[in-house]
A and B are shown apart, each in its own frame.
Chain A
């Protein structure tokens, strides 16, 4: 089946630093999604990308849909303590099925 490789697995950064994480796949996806999951909660959608090469921002978050349609990355600028959590990428097909990566755990030190 389809698999997504998400890296890094975890990050420990200082408040105010920028963060970058990425996701690669052996398969092509029509849509790339980035979610954040807090402890005890379900994932919450941060950014959705629909076209190869697309660059989309949501506040301090910026994500890009790779040209090959097999990768995506997420940047967080000027991190703050509430950015702590697990970030998941997901690739989606036209049939509505999403395949998730295993997440990047972000820790922000004040």
Chain B
């Protein structure tokens, strides 16, 4: 079974630029999560999708971050414009269903450096 795929693995941008990350969840997984993991901290949930609908985006900085999952499969997370404090690893995870979060599988993440 293929795992959660994320790209790119690494990205370096200047502050005020835009960046987008892509995630392809495990086939058949209805729930998709985006987490931000700052160095030395645990992952923090940014947004949670159930199919193509947003379940929880309470911790997403909506003035600069946006995410979509138009067809209920792949998802993109965008930052526009980026700030220095956005430097982090962005992890995507998926699970079969919202009540099966314990079976969420994580991708390898995208390491973003904002200079």
Contact of A98 among B104, B107, B108 (CB under 8 A): B104
The stretch of B12-20, B35-43, B68-76 in contact with A is: B35-43
Interface size class of A (residues with CB under 8 A): 20 to 34
Which residues of A from 65 to 101 have beta carbons under 8 Å from B?
88, 90, 92, 94-101
Q: How far is A4 from B100 in the complex, measured between Cα atoms in Å?
A: 21
> Which residues of chain B are within 8 angstroms of A33 by Cβ–Cβ distance?
102
Q: Residue B98 at the A interface, CB < 8 A?
A: yes
B5-38 residues with Cβ-Cβ distance < 8 A to A are 31
Add 15 more A-B contacts to A41-B108, A48-B102 (CB < 8 A). A1-B59, A6-B42, A33-B102, A42-B93, A42-B105, A42-B106, A88-B43, A92-B101, A92-B102, A94-B99, A96-B101, A97-B48, A98-B104, A99-B45, A101-B42
